[in-house]
Structure 1
Amino acid sequence: MSRPRKRRTGCFTLLLLAAIVAVLAFAWFRYDTFADAPMRGVRPGASVVVRPGHSLPTVLRSLQAAGVQGSTLEWTALARQLGAAGRLQVGEYRLEPGMTPRELLIDMRDGRVVQHKVTIVEGWNIRDVRAALAKAEPLVHDAAKLDDAALMAKLGHPGQHPEGRFLPETYVFTRGDSEIDVLGRAYKAMQKALDAAWRSRRADTVLKTPDEMLTLASIVEKETGIAEERPAIAGLFERRLKLGMLLQTDPTVIYGMGTAYAGNIRKADLQADTPYNTYTRAGLPPTPIAMPGVASLQAVANPAQGDALYFVAVGDGSGRHLFAKSLAEHQQNVQKYLANYRAAQATRQ
């Protein structure tokens, strides 16, 4: 009678083991499917932020609040398998439709945070830069209430004018970065570019300091958007400075007018004396008038040779200029400009 009982016990054990194996196989299949299947509940444009001190359970609650579905057990098991449970990096992480839990946890483990961008455009002045930063999200806006003097003091350069001090380019930032962070990087980038240009300057340059180079580069930046013209215009201004001629450049007058500039320069504006009016004052203005790019800095460091002392726009909308070595030739070019301008205006009517 004992033998059949043993057989029944053995069969029960086998059935129990089979059931356990089946349950484990199902659990593994479900876990494996969860790990590499697109996350459910992800909304376009959603993200999750890991803050200092956040644990895995805290992050999982943030994911649930963002609409992401999945059991805490599955997320925890996957995080442990990937070595991410105790290594979640601080930052913002984008939740893309089609992204899998494995991809998200690897991003969090390796710190592949969302990167945002803000661009400082060549020729912008400090007001333009401030306005762009004020619109950049999710940048922390810690410079908005600072005037220019306080801003430069905050950046570690008290007493320095901010104009021209921030290199035009696109800057990448992450959530938690501030306007001061971006401006600090832009300042260092400009200083590096200016130092390089100053080291490469021609030996016979009339410029005495890097600051003078920065100021002249800002004028060249505002005078032309044509890359090949920059060295020619830089050379023309160099010759004027050496001869003691007035620079007579409109962008400096416009800068001196500030917010009073309404799009046109009148004769009265050219005659109204300000520290930036190069029609009434000799030499360079007291500060740069815009943010020059690297190309303008290099043009001033190595200006083109020549004998031109005057230039005027072609007037056909191309942005190009006519150069002249004498006032008489310049006056002829002015007439060409007026003729081209009137013809261009007529075609628009």
Structure 2
Amino acid sequence: MDGGRAAEQGDPPRDGEPPAGGSGGGGCGGPGDVRVATGSPGANKKDAGSSTGGGDGNGVTAAPTVVVAPDNVPEASGRPLKRQKADPAPTEASAPNGAAGEGTSSAASPAGTTGATTPPAAATANAGGKPTAGVDAPTRADPPVIIPAGDCPAGEAVWASLLASNATFAAEGNRPPVEGVSVAHREALAAGQSPAAVVVTCSDSRVSPELLFARGLGELFVVRTAGNTAAFDLTVASVEFGVHNLGSPLVVVLGHTKCGAVAAAVATAADADAMAGQPPGLAAFVKAALVAPVRAVKERGGVAEADFVSACEVENVAAAVRSLVTTSAWMGKAQAGGKVKVVGALYNVAAGTVSEV
């Protein structure tokens, strides 16, 4: 599913994605075919965080960042931003005066100029969507363009129902209704699923969407990542599947208080070596996906020191929402056309309450 995206026109499945089945693509309906102006795709790499460089844990120094200009990016492709590879080494070209042409391309340099060495390309994610340790995230030359969301009555109704159930959970600690986990219900689900909502949430063991929304089997399509980030292809593709193939009219990005991943990002933003004792892959993930929201809060200012971490938790959710609708041209179009409602929310682990952010 790495890098898979649906096409711009209509509502076809993405490359390699199975055709919609069951209630697939139910949604809410919307005002015709809406074209997404994404500016520069791959906005998630900017919104969700960028690495500050450094080694990969094995003594290898990160390559310099290569800035990709907008005209190098296909319009509204929905694919992650990738750095451009360096020009291939020349095969027959020779430098003026018979000297070896260092760092030149196959085309001869203009008179009076010397061949400049092109920095080697550096990828920010491997084939599985995992950030590469010690490599800077690519930089956008222009901000993402977020088009207004269309009305989605079905998504609004599901969200209102989830919040009402959460209020009961917070007050009484109720578990999902018995019929939602019964043997008969479980057996019926073997024929297929049609979850009412997709929930992107943190891997934290204290955050269980089915419990805090009082839902049973088959009612929520849950995608869990450290720090509830939507910065990488695997998460975005999973959300696309839930909306397109299963017909979910609601996507909830659910962060939470006391988030260890956000706390690590706050520490890393203050000290680049804060995670020196952590596994290199984990440290690289925090830099690539979670530090940017922390920096955004700091740059805005006006936040008391005691409230800084809480503000970063909220901004981290907002960044993930933006990633979903700007990285995926298909999701942006679905939201603008009223097929799906995308909402950010925060779960208070002590109070048990969910609130929209």
- Tell me if TM exceeds 0.5: no
Query: If you compute each CA radius of gyration, which structure gives the higher value, 1 or 2?
Result: 1
Per the shorter chain, which TM-score range? Answer: under 0.3
TM-score, L = length of structure 2: 0.21
Structure number with higher helix proportion: 1
